[in-house]
A and B are shown apart, each in its own frame.
Chain A
Amino acid sequence: QQPVQSPQAVILREGEDAVINCSSSKALYSVHWYRQKHGEAPVFLMILLKGGEQKGHEKISASFNEKKQQSSLYLTASQLSYSGTYFCGTDLLMTDKLIFGTGTRLQVFP
């Protein structure tokens, strides 16, 4: 039931782009994205609802394809501050439980 993220880890230079994928074996109603820096709390990035919408602001955006039960997070022109572990979180309709994905560790170097 836990969503699977790919890749497991990404290493980037500042200014490079990255895509993180999140796949579920079950139908989804919404997808959340969070970033957690080492030793810190997870921080909310965005929620995408069923409907295939794409959301985001500035250089971080995401898409949700409910037919494929997948979401992707797009990081454009990465900055050092983007380093951390990214988790997608999924919920099944009517459960009101957020189940976090396996995580993707992103490191951005100068």
Chain B
Amino acid sequence: DTEVTQTPKHLVMGMTNKKSLKCEQHMGHRAMYWYKQKAKKPPELMFVYSYEKLSINESVPSRFSPECPNSSLLNLHLHALQPEDSALYLCASSQDGRVPYNEQFFGPGTRLTVL
């Protein structure tokens, strides 16, 4: 199984809502990532988990809260988002967190719209 799955595929939320994005992989990978991608732009790194510990936080606002319950699951909790947070949120995983030596496998993404 070389697939990263993400749910939901689409999410529309108001600025006062609380929602969560979910990512799952069963490849035995020990590094997992959240990226944000705006239309016609490259993915931007948000968070990296390595061996279930948060290793990189790219100064993401606290209204985004990542969680890694186990080595296969990655969540992104959303609260009090702004309309400019509307984007495609991509999850990825790799064998470990050493970027030079590991390809990243991306999920299909969750398209988020904040009203």
Q: Report A's interface with B, CB cutoff 8 A.
A: 2, 29-30, 32, 40-44, 47, 49, 87, 91, 95-103
Tell me if B42 is interfacial: C-beta within 8 Å of chain A: yes
Measured in the bound complex, the distance between the Cα atoms of B55 and A43 in whole Å is 24
Contact between chains at B42 and A103 (CB < 8 Å): yes
Contact between chains at B106 and A41 (CB < 8 Å): yes
Measured in the bound complex, the distance between the Cα atoms of B99 and A98 in whole Å is 7
Contact between chains at B99 and A42 (CB < 8 Å): no
Measured in the bound complex, the distance between the Cα atoms of B111 and A41 in whole Å is 12
B54-110 with Cβ < 8 A to chain A: 55-56, 58, 90, 97-109
Cβ-neighbour of B109 out of A41, A43, A95 (below 8 A): A41
User: In the complex, what's the smallest C-beta–C-beta distance from A48 to chain B, in angstroms?
Assistant: 9
User: In the complex, what's the smallest C-beta–C-beta distance from A42 to chain B, in angstroms?
Assistant: 5
Measured in the bound complex, the distance between the Cα atoms of B106 and A42 in whole Å is 6
Contact between chains at A41 and B56 (CB < 8 Å): no
27 contacts between A and B (CB under 8 A): A30-B99, A30-B100, A32-B99, A32-B104, A41-B90, A41-B109, A42-B90, A42-B106, A44-B103, A44-B104, A44-B105, A47-B102, A47-B103, A49-B101, A91-B99, A91-B100, A96-B55, A96-B98, A96-B99, A97-B56, A97-B99, A98-B99, A98-B104, A100-B43, A100-B44, A101-B42, A103-B40
User: In the complex, what's the smallest C-beta–C-beta distance from B28 to chain A, in angstroms?
Assistant: 17
B1-42 with Cβ < 8 A to chain A: 4, 40-42
User: In the complex, what's the smallest C-beta–C-beta distance from B60 to chain A, in angstroms?
Assistant: 13
Measured in the bound complex, the distance between the Cα atoms of B107 and A29 in whole Å is 26
Contact between chains at B108 and A47 (CB < 8 Å): no
